[in-house]
Amino acid sequence: MKEEVVIGLEIHIQLMTKAKIFCQCSTDYIGKEPNTNTCPVCLGLPGSLPVLNKKVLEFAVRTSVALNCKINQVSRFHRKNYFYPDLPKAYQISQYDTPLGINGYMEISLPERKEKRKIRITRVHIEEDAGKLVHEGDITSSSYSLADYNRCGIPLAEIVTEPDFRSPEEAQIFLVKLRSIVQHLGVCDGNMEEGSMRCDANVSLRDAKTSALGIKVEIKNVNSFKAVKKALQFEVHRQKKLLAEGEKIIQETRHWDESKNITISMRSKEEAHDYRYFPEPDLLPLRVSQEIIEEIRKKLPELPEARRKRFIKDYKIPEYDAEILTSSKALGDYYEKSASSYYNRKVLSNWIMGELIRYLNEEKIGIEDSPVSPEKLVGMLKLMDEGVISGKMAKGIFEKMCKTGKDASQIVKESGITQITDEEELFKVIDKVIKENLKSVDDFNQGKEKALNYLVGQVMRYTKGRAKPDFVFEAIKQRIKK
Amino acid sequence: MTLNQLTAHEVVNLIKKKKITAYEVMQDIFNQIDKVDNLIKAFLVINREEALKQAKEIDVKVKNGEELPPLAGVAVAIKDIIATQGTETTCGSKILKGFIPPYNATVINRLKEAGAIIIGKTNMDEFAMGSSTENSAFGPTHNPWDLERVPGGSSGGSAAAVAANETFVALGTDTGGSVRQPASLCGMVGLKPTYGRVSRYGLIAYASSLDQAGPITKDVVDCALVMNAISGHDNMDSTSLNLEVPDYLKSCKAGIKDLKIGVPKEYFIKGIDLEVKDALNRALKMFEKLGARVEEVSLPHTEYSLPTYYLIATAEASSNLARYDGVQYGYRAEECKDLSSMYRKTRSEGFGSEVNRRIMLGTYALSSGYYDAYYLKAQKVRTLIKEDFDKAFSKYDILVTPVSPTPAFKLNEKVSDPLTMYLSDIYTIPINLAGIPAISINCGYSKSNLPIGLQIIGKHFSEETILRAAFNFEQNNDVGKRKPSIKPAKHKEAAE
Identify the top-confidence range among A226-235, A441-450, B96-105. B96-105
What is the pLDDT at residue A170?
Answer: 93
Spell out which residues of chain B touch residue A91, defining contact as CB-CB under 8 Å: 319, 322
Element (H, E) at B344: helix B339-350
Say how far apart CA B456 and CA B479 lie, in whole Å.
18
Residues of B in contact with A50 (CB under 8 A): 238
Contacts of A212 (CB under 8 A, 6+ apart): A206
Sequence-distant (6+) residues with CB within 8 A of A241 are none
Q: Which of B138, B132, B141, B128 is nearest to A46 (CA)?
A: B128
Contacting residues for A16 by C-beta, under 8 A, at least 6 apart: A27, A59, A186, A187, A188, A189, A196
Please name the CATH architecture into which domain B3-299+392-495 falls. Alpha-Beta Complex (3.90)
Phi, psi of A180 (to 5 degrees): -60, -40
Q: Give yes or no for residue B134 having a pLDDT over 50.
A: yes
**For residue B93, pLDDT beyond 60:** yes
Q: Is the Cβ pair B325, A49 closer than 8 Å?
A: no
Q: What is the pLDDT of residue B493?
A: 44
| B91, B324, B325, best to mutate vs chain A, most A CBs in 10 Å | B325
Spans of all domains in chain B: 3-299+392-495, 302-383
CB neighbour burial string for B388-411, b if at least 16 within 10 angstroms, e if fewer:
bbeebbeebbbbbbbbbbbbbbeb
Q: Is the pLDDT of residue A187 over 50?
A: yes
**Averaged over A90-98, what is the pLDDT?**
97
Average pLDDT of every residue of chain A: 90
Say whether pLDDT at A1 is over 70: no
B154 an active-site residue?
yes
In the predicted model, what is the mean pLDDT of residues A101-120? 88
- Is B99 a residue whose pLDDT tops 80? yes
| Residue type, position B132, single letter | S
Q: Is B323 within 8 Å of A46 when comparing Cβ atoms?
A: yes
Report chain B residues touching chain A, CB-CB < 8 A. Answer: 82-83, 89, 91, 96, 99, 101-103, 105, 200-205, 208-209, 235-239, 315-316, 318-319, 322-323, 325, 327-329, 339, 343, 363, 366-368, 371, 375
Q: Which of A63-77, A85-99, A399-413, A415-429 has the lowest mean pLDDT?
A: A415-429
Encode A385-418: b = buried (16+ Cβ within 10 Å), e = exposed.
eeebbbeebbeebbebbbeeebbbbebbeeeebb
Q: First and final CA of chain A: distance in angstroms?
A: 72
DSSP class of A369 = G
Which residues are CB-neighbours of B220 under 8 A, at least 6 positions away?
B189, B252, B439, B441, B467, B470, B471, B474
- Which residues on A lie below 8 Å from B101 (Cβ)? 40, 45-47
Q: What is the pLDDT of residue B481?
A: 74
Q: How far is CA B463 from the centre of its chain?
A: 16
- What's the CATH code, domain A423-480? 1.10.10.410
Closest CA to B116 of B156, B161, B168: B168
Q: Band of the pLDDT at A272, cuts 50, 70, 90?
A: confident
Residue closest to A120 by CA, chosen among A70, A57, A72: A70
Confidence (pLDDT) at B424: 84
What is the pLDDT, as a whole number, of residue A193? 87
Determine, for residues A281 and B102 on separate chains, whether the beta-carbon distance falls below 8 Å.
Answer: no
Q: What's the pLDDT tens digit per position in B349-406?
A: 999 999 999 999 999 999 999 999 999 999 999 999 999 999 999 999 999 999 999 9
CA distance A152 to A88: 8
Annotated active-site residue B209? The verdict is no
Please list, residue by residue across B465-494, b when 16 or more beta carbons sit within 10 angstroms of its beta carbon and e when fewer do. bbbbbbbbbbeebeeeeeebebeeeeeeee
Which residue in B has a C-alpha nearest to residue A279's C-alpha?
B316
In this prediction, residue B494 carries a pLDDT of 40
Q: What is the mean pLDDT of residues B274-292?
A: 95
Query: Is the backbone peptide bond immediately before B154 cis, with ω within 30 degrees of 0?
Result: yes
Show residues of chain B in contact with A276, CB under 8 Å. Answer: 318-319, 363, 366-368, 371
* Residue from B126, B127, B318, B327 whose CB has the most chain A CBs within 10 Å, to mutate: B327
On whether any CB of chain B is under 8 Å from the CB of A143, the answer is: no
pLDDT above 90 coverage of chain B, percent = 90
Q: Which of A99-108, A415-424, B17-26 has the lowest mean pLDDT?
A: A415-424
Domain locations along chain A:
3-295, 302-415, 423-480
Of B235, B343, B367, the CB nearest to A274: B367
More confidently predicted of A111 and A474: A474
Tell me what the mean pLDDT of segment A25-53 comes to. 96
pLDDT at residue number A273 = 83
Per mean pLDDT, which range of A265-274, A346-355, B2-11 is the poorest? A265-274
The minimal CB distance from A47 to the residues B204, B315, B318 is found for: B204
Q: Are B203 and B173 in contact (CB under 8 A)?
A: yes
The string of pLDDT tens digits covering residues B448-457 is: 999 999 999 9
Which of B201, B209, B315 shows the shortest C-beta gap to A49? Answer: B201
